[in-house]
Amino acid sequence: MDVYGLVGNPVGHSLSPPMHEAAYDALGIDARYVTFEPDADAGAAAIEAASTLGVAGVNVTVPFKRDVLAAVEPADLAAAVGAVNTVDCSTDPPRGYNTDVVGVRRAFDYHGVAREGADAVVVGAGGAGRAAAFALAEGAASLHVANRTAERAEELAAAVREAPADPTADIGTVTAGGLDSLAGRVPDADLLVNATTVGMETDETPVPAGLLHADLAVLDAVYAPLETRLLRDARAAGATTVDGAWMLLFQGVEAFERWTGADAPVDAMNDALRAALE
């Protein structure tokens, strides 16, 4: 039996176990998905221990996505983003990936949203913001990062410009600003991602409703609740909406496929994820 798992602190709230267990059941794979909760300064040590114990692969969540870089050989994308959330422990050294980036891309793709040539806006410059920015920069006409602290937004924009996930890909214009810059960017944007926690368990939105429009596709990384105020406002404006569970689902799908080499049973994983959310 293969063992996979999640390294984080805390992990008790994680939705990854039911999602991955559903995939194993659907395909008849003899595997289990377990959780590991090391001390806050022991992320890298946890990866080393998992490899020694024969764990086949792990996901990595807060606060360890940057820490575990020291314990893995990061793939190009993970190195560019500066964070790892999926590790293949079967290699020596373990190989680190960032499937959050792929999660953003596949969430839009699944809903038929074109990314090529788009004008994209990302709100937030933390971990989710980094994933979204690197995900959307390739092939986009432009990318704008807005953050409460404008300096952090500019740091992220500079990182995307200087070390794109794919050095051979075309990168459009990459700009940054404070949240006040949204008024000049969202009305003409094609894609919008909320990568902040604004709206999590509250009726708040980081983007004024008056900026939203029908030609926009909006992904909110928040998935509690599934329909945030931002998504309600976007739906009312006629925009395409993508809830945060899709991003969570597809980063898990990508991890599953890297570990097993099998096509993930997306419907089974999605059903399990949404059942757990309810």
Q: Which residues are catalytic?
A: 65
**Exposed / middle / buried, residue 200 (Cβ in 10 Å: 0-12, 13-18, 19+):** middle
DSSP state at residue 119: E
Phi, psi of 106 (to 5 degrees): -70, -30
Neighbours of 114 (CB within 10 A): 12
The separation between the first and the last C-alpha atoms of the chain, rounded to the nearest angstrom, is: 30
In whole angstroms, give the CA distance from residue 269 to residue 17.
10
In whole angstroms, give the CA distance from residue 269 to residue 240.
23
Neighbours of 202 (CB within 10 A): 12
Angle at 277 between CA 273 and CA 278, to 5 degrees: 120
Is the Cβ–Cβ distance between 65 and 46 less than 8 Å? no
